[in-house]
Structure 1
Amino acid sequence: MSRPDRSRREFTIALLATLAGAAALLATAGQTWAVAEVSVAGPSEPANVDLAGDDVAPAAAAIGWAALAALAALLAAQGWARRGLGVLLIVFAGVALYDVWTGTRPGALARAAAAQATVGGDAGAPALHASWPLLAACGALLLLGTGAATAIRGAAWPGMGSRYDRHGAPATVRSGDPAEMWKSLDSGADPTVDPGQGDGSTGTAPATASHDNVDAKEP
C-alpha cells in the first residue's frame, strides 16, 4: 500500500472512530444507568428514582457533543492544527472517562438519587445497570485512541482541500466567446494574459518583402 493510500485509510478510520465515540456518549446519556428506591412514610410503596446518564455523568454527555464538533474540525484542519485537535480529543476523552468512573461510585449514585427524589424519605443503595456506563467508557476510549493517533499522525493525513490543489498552471484561453472566458476563470487562468507572454515569443510575423519584388520587375 502506498503512503498516500495509507494516510487516507488512517484518516478515514480516525473519522469513523471519532463519530462512534461521540455517538456512544450521546446515546448513553439518556439511558437509565441506575435505579434507587426511596422509602416513604405510611403504607405507600417505595418510589423508584431512575438515574440517567446525564444525571450521573453530565460531563461525559457534554463531551459527546464536543466530539462531534471536533469531527468537523478534523475534516477542515491540517498540519499542526490537526495535531492540536488530537491533543484536545485526548483531554476530552480523559474527562469523560473520569466522569463516568466517579459518577458510578456508590456514594455518588446515592447523592444523585437523593437529589432526584421528588418525595421525602430514605433512598436505598442504587442498583447500577453496568451496560450503559460500560458503553460510555468504550466511547471515551475510542476518542482517546483517536486523539493519540491524530496527535502523532494527523499532520500527514489529507485534508478537505487536497483534491483542489493545482500541480500545474492551466493554459490560458484567449477567445471572444464569454463561455470560454468563464471556463478559463473557473480553472484559475487569467484570460487577459497573452498566451505568448513568458515563452520568449513575440507573436509577430516576419515582415514581407513585396516592395522588393516590385522593384525587381522594374527595368
Structure 2
Amino acid sequence: MTALPQPRTEQPAEATAPAATVAERARTDRRSLALMLLLTILGAAVVLLAAGRTWARGSVAFQSTTIHVGVSGSETSGLPGALALVGLAAAVAVFAVRGAARRAVGVLLALAGSGVVASALLAATGTAALDGRAARAVGLTQAAAADVSHSAWPWIAAVGGVLLLLAGLLVVARGRDWPGMSSRYEAPGAGATGKRHAAPGPETPADLWKAMDRGEDPTT
C-alpha cells in the first residue's frame, strides 16, 4: 500500500529565519536601548552638576573697597538645567510610545541637547549675569564687573548637552526596534470587563437549571 504524500505546509518567513540571527538582533536592540539610557542619564547629570558650579568671577570697586563676585550656571542661565530635565522626561516617554510618536520624542531629546550646548557656549563668554551681580553688590542699577574670568564648567555643561543630543539621535535611528510598555500597564479591569460582556453567564436560578439540563457548566 502506497503512503499518500503529506501536504507541504509553508512556514512563515520569521519561522524559517535562523534563531541565532533573531537572538543577535534582540541583543543589538537591547544594547542600543541601554546606550540611549546611559547617554541621557550621564548627560543630564553632567549638565545639572555643572549648573550648580561657578561659571564666571569678577570684581567691582565700591568707594575704596574691591568686592569679588561670582555667578553659578543656574544664575547665568536657567536653560541648561531645565533642558536636562526635559531630556530625562523624554527618555522615560520613549517606553510609553511607539512609531512616529517615539521618533518625535527622540527629536525632542535631540533638541534639548542642542539647546544645552548653545546656551552653555553663550554663557561661556557672556558677562551679563556677572554685571548684574556686581550691580547688586554695590547697590546700583548698573555696574560692569572687572577682571572677569570664566571657568571650564560651561564647556563641561556643553559636553553633557552633546550626550543628550546623541541620545536623541539614537532614538530616531533605532527606537523603532525597541520594546515598549507591557500590556499589563493597561487600565485595570479593562480585559475582564470585555470578557464579561462577551460571554455573559446565567443571571437567574431558572437559567442555572436550564443550563444544567443542557449539560452545560453554569459556573463558566
> After TM superposition, is the score higher than 0.5?
yes
**Pair 1:82 & 2:102 matched:** yes
Partners of 2:94 and 2:44 lie apart in 1 by 14
8 Å CA contact 1:39–1:122 kept in 2: the answer is: no
| Aligned mate of 2:78, from 58, 68, 73 | 58
| Aligned mate of 1:47, from 61, 67, 75 | 67
Partners of 1:14 and 1:100 lie apart in 2 by 22
CA change 1:193–1:51 in 2 (3 A) is same
CA change 1:84–1:94 in 2 (3 A) is same
Partners of 1:150 and 1:33 lie apart in 2 by 32
Q: What is aligned with 2:169?
A: 148
Q: What is aligned with 1:20?
A: 42
TM-aligned CA deviation for residue 55 of structure 1:
2.1
Partners of 2:98 and 2:144 lie apart in 1 by 55
Q: What is aligned with 1:215?
A: none
Partners of 1:2 and 1:193 lie apart in 2 by 46
8 Å CA contact 1:79–1:156 kept in 2: the answer is: no
Paired amino acid for 1:11: L
SS in 1 for 2:95: helix
Segments of structure 1 that go 5 or more residues without pairing to the other structure are: 165-183, 195-203, 206-219
8 Å CA contact 2:84–2:113 kept in 1: the answer is: no
TM-aligned CA deviation for residue 145 of structure 1:
0.6
CA change 1:114–1:71 in 2 (3 A) is same
Paired amino acid for 1:92: A
CA change 1:163–1:138 in 2 (3 A) is farther
TM-aligned CA deviation for residue 189 of structure 1:
7.0
TM-aligned CA deviation for residue 147 of structure 1:
0.8
Q: How does 1:45-194 map to 2 (within 5 A)?
A: 46-105=66-125, 108-109=126-127, 111-117=128-134, 118-119=137-138, 120=140, 122-130=144-152, 132-161=153-182, 192=199
SS in 1 for 2:94: helix
TM-aligned CA deviation for residue 56 of structure 1:
2.3
SS in 2 for 1:159: coil
Q: What is aligned with 1:2?
A: 24
TM-aligned CA deviation for residue 193 of structure 1:
8.2
Partners of 2:131 and 2:192 lie apart in 1 by 68
Paired amino acid for 2:48: L
TM-score by length of 2: 0.68
TM-aligned CA deviation for residue 57 of structure 1:
3.0
TM-score by length of 1: 0.69
Paired amino acid for 1:97: V
What per-residue deviation string (whole Å, max 9, x for no partner) do you get for residues 79-105 of structure 1?
221111111112111111111111111
Paired amino acid for 2:130: A
Partners of 1:122 and 1:189 lie apart in 2 by 73
Query: Runs (4+) of structure 1 moved beyond 4 Å?
Result: 188-194
